[in-house]
């Protein structure tokens, strides 16, 4: 029988960035379940410094997509999770950002756990992070954009056609044993 550990490893391994979606409604309960994965991410001193704006509205997507060259992904995703660092919850900038990274990875895994759904993390939008704050009328002093998670129903036809080789460095390449 396959061990539990191998099963989880296969789950983590089989997550991949999805950039092609077909239109299909995602129910609020599903979005809440994905957020629940994020909620249980570790963070320094358990400060949970995240803030998420959930964008489903087409008009808001249209405004948001202007701020990244990956706008077409934002537009075609059913829902976009706009993740900010809340500096009022900050205690150490490096650790805050590490916590946000854990939060966002948990969100990706939460999406992967939903049958038929896929996601991609968009970081390129950080080039225009101040503009994104303006769009949501968010105080620049308090909130700093960390990335966007675009979520939608996987377009299997395109994904199968565009199967890129997904590579990872071998373990020996990045570890030293003592």
The residues that touch ligand FMN, with contacts defined as CB under 6 A, are 16-17, 19, 70, 120-124, 166
* Phi (first) and psi of residue 166, to 5 degrees: -95, 115
Residue number, 16 or 142, with CB nearest to ligand FMN: 16
- Tell me the closest approach of the beta carbon of residue 178 to ligand FMN, in angstroms: 28
Residue number, 19 or 51, with CB nearest to ligand FMN: 19
- Tell me the closest approach of the beta carbon of residue 63 to ligand FMN, in angstroms: 18
- Tell me the closest approach of the beta carbon of residue 172 to ligand FMN, in angstroms: 20
Other Cβ atoms closer than 10 A to 176: 5
Residue number, 1 or 165, with CB nearest to ligand FMN: 165
- Tell me the closest approach of the beta carbon of residue 105 to ligand FMN, in angstroms: 8
How is residue 163 written in tokens? Answer: 């199967």
Q: Give, as one character, the DSSP assignment of residue 125.
A: G
What's the CA gap between 92 and 81, in Å, rounded?
24
What are the CA-CA distances from residue 36 to residues 31, 45, 62, 109, 160 (Å)? 9, 19, 27, 11, 30
Quickly tell me which residue has 């960035």 as its tokens: 17
Residue number, 26 or 122, with CB nearest to ligand FMN: 122
The residue sitting closest to ligand FMN, measured at its beta carbon, is: 123
């Amino acid at each position: 029988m396959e061990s539990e550990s191998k099963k989880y490893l296969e789950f983590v391994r089989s997550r991949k960035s999805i950039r092609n979606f077909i239109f299909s409604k995602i129910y609020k309960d599903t979005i809440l379940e994905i957020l629940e994965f994020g909620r249980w991410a570790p963070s320094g001193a358990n400060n949970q410094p995240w803030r998420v704006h959930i964008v489903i509205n087409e008009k808001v997507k249209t405004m948001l997509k202007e701020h990244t060259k990956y706008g077409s992904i934002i537009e075609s995703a059913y829902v976009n999770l706009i993740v900010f660092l809340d500096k009022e919850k900050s205690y150490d900038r490096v650790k805050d950002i590490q916590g946000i990274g854990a939060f966002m990875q948990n969100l990706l895994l939460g999406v992967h756990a939903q049958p038929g759904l896929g996601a991609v993390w968009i970081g390129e939008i950080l080039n225009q992070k101040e503009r994104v704050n303006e769009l949501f009328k968010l105080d620049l002093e308090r909130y700093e954009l960390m990335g966007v998670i675009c979520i939608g129903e996987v377009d299997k036809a395109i994904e199968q056609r565009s199967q890129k080789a997904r590579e990872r460095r071998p373990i020996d390449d990045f570890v030293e044993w003592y």
